[in-house]
């Protein structure tokens, strides 16, 4: 598999705070990478930097062989990168279908349509004429992912997929995500639920204080290793 995404020694800042520090990784076409870590570890900022919603302070981002480090966010969407941000950020006064169609014009040509989205996310199919502001959290999340799919992305960035959702809704959303993975979609997934992340990802990377402190394939890493890295226990042991 060829590398679709290459991130090289990436730094990103919020003012004086360095949120992402010297992060490097590659992602192959069709691969799923789960990013885990505590709040403030830099996961969301890393996704936003890849999507162009946050300017990189240093390093390089290469997508499909092209350096996109300085590329504007809307051009990255056209190139095939879609971000589903934390908080979903739907247009509250537009209907589900209108939210989906807004994204249609901003993306690339491809096979995703409103009906295709409803096939993958059947829980929102009966809600196509409901305003986004009236939807439940799970319905909003499904609509937000569907909106991203309408741009026909080659790389889908999902931030805090299950945050604030009831377990039964999380189950439904993850069934749809598995359908996307089986269909060959390349995904970077930020997830607080370690068990969920490790159940769907090909690889898992744990972030702590802006850095990758543990990375490996799902089969190589145990939940205990990831948990230790998540809380910084491995670093504490190393410096003890």
Domains delineated in the chain: 3-239 (3.40.50.300)
User: 157 - beta bridge partners?
Assistant: 83, 188
In terms of Cα–Cα distance, which of 175, 166, 212 is closest to 36? 212
Q: Is the pLDDT of residue 100 over 50?
A: yes
The confidence score (pLDDT) of residue 168 equals 86
The confidence score (pLDDT) of residue 240 equals 40
The confidence score (pLDDT) of residue 238 equals 44
The confidence score (pLDDT) of residue 173 equals 85
For the chain, how are helix, strand and coil distributed in percent, rounded to 5?
40, 30, 35
Q: Is the pLDDT of residue 235 over 70?
A: no
Q: What is the pTM of this model?
A: 0.90
Taking the CA atoms of the chain, what radius of gyration do you get in angstroms?
Answer: 17
The confidence score (pLDDT) of residue 1 equals 54
152 contacts 111 by C-beta, under 8 angstroms: yes
The confidence score (pLDDT) of residue 107 equals 72
Averaged pLDDT, 12-26:
96
Computed over every residue of the chain, the mean pLDDT equals 91
């Amino acid at each position: 598999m060829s590398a679709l995404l290459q991130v090289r020694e990436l730094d990103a800042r919020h003012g004086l705070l360095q949120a992402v520090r010297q992060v490097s990784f590659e992602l192959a076409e069709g691969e799923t990478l789960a990013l885990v870590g505590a709040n403030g570890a830099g996961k969301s900022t890393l996704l936003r930097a890849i999507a162009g919603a946050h300017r990189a302070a240093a390093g390089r981002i290469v997508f499909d062989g092209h350096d996109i480090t300085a590329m504007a966010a809307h051009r990255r969407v056209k190139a095939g990168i879609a971000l589903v941000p934390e908080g979903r950020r739907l247009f509250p006064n537009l209907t589900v279908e209108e939210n989906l169609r807004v994204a249609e014009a901003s993306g690339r040509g491809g096979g995703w349509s409103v009906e295709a989205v409803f096939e993958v996310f059947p829980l929102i199919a009966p809600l196509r004429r409901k305003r986004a502001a009236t939807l439940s959290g799970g319905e909003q999340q499904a609509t937000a992912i569907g909106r991203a799919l309408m741009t026909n992305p080659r790389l889908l960035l999902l931030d805090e997929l299950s945050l604030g959702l009831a377990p039964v809704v999380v189950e439904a959303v993850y069934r749809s995500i598995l359908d996307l993975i089986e269909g060959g979609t390349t995904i970077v997934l930020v997830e607080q639920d370690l068990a969920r992340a490790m159940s769907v990802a090909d690889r898992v990377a744990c972030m702590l204080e802006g850095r990758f402190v543990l990375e490996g394939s799902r089969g190589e890493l145990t939940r205990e290793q990831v948990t230790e890295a998540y809380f910084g226990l491995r670093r504490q042991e190393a410096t003890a």
